[in-house]
Amino acid sequence: MLVLGIETSCDETSVSVVRNGTEVLSLETASSLSEFAALGGVVPELAARRQLEWMIPVLGRAIVSSKHTSKDIDAIAVTYTPGLLGSLLVGTTCARALACVWNKPVIPVHHTLGHLSSTWLETTDEPQFPIITLSVSGGHSDIWYRTSHTSGKLIGSTIDDAAGEAFDKGASMLSLPYPGGPHLSKLAGTGNETAYSFTRPLSKEETMNFSFSGLKTSLKYLLRDLKEPITDAIRSNIAASYQLAICYHLVHRITESLTMYPQVKEVHVVGGVSANKRLRSLTEQKCSSVKLRYPQTKYCTDNGAMIAAAGFFMAQEELEVQNTDFVTAAREDLLLTSENRKSK
């Protein structure tokens, strides 16, 4: 089954053709992120205007480089929520139009289900359920127990900032460019991560949720109250210590969830923040009893291939909506079906 995936939830215009949820035949992405570096964040109106310009050229390139034609495409998967509404409307309008003109089914995909599916892209050994998936990006931080692609339950999610936002806001306080995650991570690479200590969030509460706003405030006060001038070495030490605090909080939730669900066979870490090397090394160190997977780096951040993969798995598990009658929404929760549901 060939699925065309369209992702336009934030600054990217990304289109991909994927066979059977794993084999990526093409992936074309245009991003307006560099325009926003100087502005310190994405300007929704501007992002949507760029996506309007790029949608058709990127779509054309993705189909041509897949070495297939529209006749070979079996379904069109598109991100319908959550994200910037104007941006989502560019992708979903394009998908609806293609569905009508090509007479193909359209599968509306929740953006997070796309991230959850990204670990299947270009894998040769198929992941085995049940799986714990930590999904961490600029927009969400969730931990899931999954019994199939579309079944399972949400174990915890953030009560304030997302992990990616914690990286981005911390980076901004350290005068690094937007989006700060990769820059902070690079700066942290040369620092001493035990130089400063941060209190672990929600450590006194019975919860599996995440919270990052306290870490952000601690960083703000640490910088404000520093007695010495901030040399490059001190900035690196602060970045490394702050990064470690975020990673500890995330990995602690994974180890707790493995205690709750000892039957779990694999742990997956997905989303933009899963590109973070320290998060990966800490997960490897603390979760040595199970198989760990991350998406390839190009599939960590937003891309059309993960949406095509999710659309394929939804179709396989008979969850597709095969018409253009769906609502594009800025915010909607991902609901997995009951954890007893078995994949076909």
Q: Which residues lie near Zn ion (CB under 5 A)?
A: 137, 302
Is residue 299 involved in binding ligand KG4 (CB under 6 A)? no
Closest approach of Cβ 30 to ligand KG4, in Å? 14
Is residue 275 involved in binding ligand KG4 (CB under 6 A)? yes
Question: Which of 333, 330, 332 minimizes the C-alpha distance to 10?
Answer: 330
Closest approach of Cβ 306 to ligand KG4, in Å? 9
Within a 13 Å sphere around the CA of 172, how many CA atoms are in the beta-carbon half?
14
Is residue 271 involved in binding ligand KG4 (CB under 6 A)? yes
Closest approach of Cβ 318 to ligand KG4, in Å? 27
Q: Output the six-digit token pair for 183.
A: 């820059």
Residue selected from 158, 185, 237, 257 as contacting ligand KG4 according to rule CB under 6 A? 185
Q: Output the six-digit token pair for 101.
A: 């003109």
Q: Which partner in ligand KG4, Zn ion, none is near 182 (CB below 5 to 8 A by kind)? A: ligand KG4
* Helices 163-173, 232-260: inter-axial angle, 10-degree rounding: 170
Contact, 2 vs 19, CB < 8 A? yes
Is residue 182 involved in binding ligand KG4 (CB under 6 A)? yes
Q: Which is nearer to ligand KG4, 134 or 264 (CB)?
A: 134
Residue selected from 7, 161, 168, 320 as contacting ligand KG4 according to rule CB under 6 A? 168
CA quadruple 60, 61, 67, 69: dihedral, nearest 10: -10
Instruction: Using CB positions, name the residue nearest to Zn ion.
Output: 137
C-alpha to C-alpha distance for 282 and 288, rounded to whole angstroms:
10
C-alpha to C-alpha distance for 127 and 267, rounded to whole angstroms:
10
Q: Output the six-digit token pair for 312.
A: 């394929």
C-alpha to C-alpha distance for 270 and 281, rounded to whole angstroms:
14
Residue selected from 242, 302, 314, 336 as contacting ligand KG4 according to rule CB under 6 A? 302
Torsional sign, CA 270, 271, 275, 278:
negative
Q: Phi first, then psi: give them for residue 170, nearest 5 degrees.
A: -60, -45
Is residue 11 involved in binding ligand KG4 (CB under 6 A)? no
Closest approach of Cβ 271 to Zn ion, in Å? 6
Closest approach of Cβ 300 to Zn ion, in Å? 9
Q: Which is nearer to ligand KG4, 32 or 185 (CB)?
A: 185
Closest approach of Cβ 26 to ligand KG4, in Å? 19
Q: Which partner in Zn ion, ligand KG4, none is near 304 (CB below 5 to 8 A by kind)? A: none
Residue type, 225: D
Q: In what order do the strands lie in the sheet with 12-19?
A: 23-31, 12-19, 2-7, 75-81, 106-110
Closest approach of Cβ 126 to Zn ion, in Å? 23
Is residue 138 involved in binding ligand KG4 (CB under 6 A)? yes
Closest approach of Cβ 215 to ligand KG4, in Å? 14
Q: Which is nearer to ligand KG4, 156 or 180 (CB)?
A: 180
Residue with tokens 């954890």: 339
C-alpha to C-alpha distance for 122 and 184, rounded to whole angstroms:
29
Residue selected from 36, 120, 129, 167 as contacting ligand KG4 according to rule CB under 6 A? 167
Applying CB under 6 A, the site for ligand KG4 has a residue count of 19
Overall residue count recorded for the chain in this entry: 344
User: Under the rule (CB under 6 A), what is the footprint of ligand KG4?
Assistant: 10, 137-139, 164, 167-168, 179-182, 185, 271-273, 275-276, 301-302
